[in-house]
């Protein structure tokens, strides 16, 4: 399996949370070095993470920025406009921000399972293959040659072709076209994203498939989310554990091993090397809702202490509030306050913080407010 750990290191929850904070690229370069620190630009940040859950667009943009040095909202929007990153449906039937070069691989792996799970809903909505063919032609005709349409504009075009878009029918049609790699979401127009033709917007190179794709993605998940195991990866990718077991083991062969209870977890050697250090122990981060630090694993208790879970996920209904963390563990939530011209971060801390942590949170707040200011 992975590289042996001469210390036979057994991690506590706080150490595991701290190492995941490092792996996710949320610490300054000065703390952990160039290879592990904040990315140089938004495209590099997304490529490093492989995929950032982005069903909420503002939160998805901020997820990129908090992993990028000195990044403004305008810089992330520019990366979308330049085509280096895109937002589309990939694994688990959810929107993610991914590098354009990874879209074909991720969608190719996910589409069959996602579409199969949605098939009964498609039948309820009266969506047939003939209907899909109609809206595909509409999209290809309207978008050919570099055109872009917002969701509302696509719905209007579907309706004009006799395809109802109400009662979620329109968004399911768009999702089907996206899973078939007809559409991706590209530049912003105001606060809405334009849809573009995938073959015009994405690199032409075919993605990886089968075990090659699984092993490749497992290696990147280990590097960007570790310490993790095959169960974490299977959940994240939306695949059965048995399907990913062999490719995950192959990818883990070059990784470092740590222990967490009875579980053997894998991470990049550079991350494991920090297990006995204090790197990140007092590091504060102000993160958007649905951030990968909390939602990139099936077990949320590492990033969110059990007493705080329902304060961050009210009613355990799948909606994650924006989160304040210290050492990779939640200590509070935050909301966007102030005015449109002068937005601010309003904190709701769950516990009293020491001077170092308080100073770190204040610095992280200033970083978010600078992101909005541009």
Query: What pLDDT digit, counting tens, does each position of 170-205 carry?
Result: 999 999 999 999 999 999 999 999 999 999 999 999
4 has a pLDDT exceeding 60: no
User: What CATH architecture applies to the domain 42-201?
Assistant: Orthogonal Bundle (1.10)
160 has a pLDDT exceeding 60: yes
CA dihedral 114, 115, 119, 123 (to 10 degrees): 130
Predicted local confidence at residue 374, as pLDDT: 83
Predicted local confidence at residue 3, as pLDDT: 54
Q: Token pair for residue 241?
A: 């554990």
Predicted local confidence at residue 2, as pLDDT: 57
Contact (CB, 8 A) for 265 and 257: yes
103 has a pLDDT exceeding 70: yes
Cβ within 8 Å of residue 12, ≥6 positions away: none
Q: What is the largest CA-CA distance in the chain?
A: 67
Q: Please indicate, yes or no, whether the overall pTM of this predicted structure exceeds 0.85.
A: yes
The mean pLDDT of 267-292, rounded to a whole number, is 94
Q: Token pair for residue 33?
A: 């070095």
Q: Token pair for residue 206?
A: 């075919």
Query: Cα–Cα distance between 123 and 28 in angstroms, integer?
Result: 49
pLDDT in tens, 329-357: 999 999 999 999 999 999 999 999 999 99
Contact (CB, 8 A) for 291 and 24: no
Predicted local confidence at residue 279, as pLDDT: 84
pLDDT in tens, 8-19: 579 999 999 999
169 has a pLDDT exceeding 70: yes
> What pLDDT band is residue 278 in, cutting at 50, 70 and 90?
confident
Contact (CB, 8 A) for 259 and 215: no
The mean pLDDT of 292-304, rounded to a whole number, is 96
Structural domain boundaries in the chain: 42-201
CA 93: distance to chain centroid? 13
The mean pLDDT of 358-372, rounded to a whole number, is 97
Radius of gyration of the chain (CA): 21
Predicted local confidence at residue 33, as pLDDT: 93
Predicted local confidence at residue 7, as pLDDT: 47
Query: Cα–Cα distance between 95 and 189 in angstroms, integer?
Result: 18
pLDDT in tens, 33-90: 999 999 999 999 999 999 999 999 999 999 999 999 999 999 999 999 999 999 999 9
93 has a pLDDT exceeding 60: yes
């Amino acid at each position: 399996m992975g590289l042996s750990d001469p210390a036979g290191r057994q991690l506590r929850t706080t150490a595991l949370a701290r190492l995941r904070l490092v792996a996710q690229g949320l610490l300054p370069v000065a703390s952990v070095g160039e290879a592990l620190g904040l990315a140089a630009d938004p495209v590099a940040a997304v490529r490093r993470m492989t995929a950032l859950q982005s069903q909420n667009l503002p939160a998805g943009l901020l997820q990129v920025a908090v992993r990028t040095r000195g990044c403004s909202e305008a810089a992330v929007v520019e990366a979308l406009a330049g085509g280096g990153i895109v937002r589309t449906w990939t694994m688990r039937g959810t929107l993610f921000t991914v590098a354009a070069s990874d879209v074909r691989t991720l969608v190719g792996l996910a589409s069959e399972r996602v579409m199969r799970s949605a098939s009964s809903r498609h039948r309820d909505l009266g969506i047939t293959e003939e209907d899909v063919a109609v809206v595909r032609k509409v999209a290809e005709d309207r978008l050919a040659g570099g055109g872009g349409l917002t969701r509302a504009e696509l719905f209007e075009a579907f309706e004009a072709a006799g395809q109802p878009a109400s009662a979620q029918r329109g968004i399911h049609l768009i999702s089907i076209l996206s899973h078939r790699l007809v559409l991706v979401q590209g530049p912003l127009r105001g606060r809405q994203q334009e849809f573009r033709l995938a073959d015009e917007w994405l690199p032409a190179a075919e993605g990886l498939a089968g075990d090659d794709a699984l092993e490749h993605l497992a290696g990147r998940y280990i590097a960007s989310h570790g310490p993790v195991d095959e169960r974490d990866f299977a959940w994240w990718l939306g695949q059965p554990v048995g399907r990913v077991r062999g490719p995950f083991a192959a990818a883990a062969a070059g990784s470092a091993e740590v222990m967490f209870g009875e579980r053997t977890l894998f991470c990049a050697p550079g991350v494991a090397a920090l297990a006995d250090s204090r790197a990140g122990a007092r590091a504060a981060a102000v993160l958007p809702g649905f951030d990968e630090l909390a939602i990139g694993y099936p077990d949320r208790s590492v990033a969110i202490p059990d007493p705080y879970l329902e304060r961050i996920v009210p009613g355990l209904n799948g909606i994650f509030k924006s989160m304040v963390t210290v050492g990779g563990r939640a200590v509070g939530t935050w909301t966007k306050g102030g005015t449109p011209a002068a937005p601010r971060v309003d904190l709701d801390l769950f516990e009293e913080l020491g001077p170092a942590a308080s100073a770190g949170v204040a610095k992280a707040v200033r970083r978010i407010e600078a992101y909005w200011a541009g």
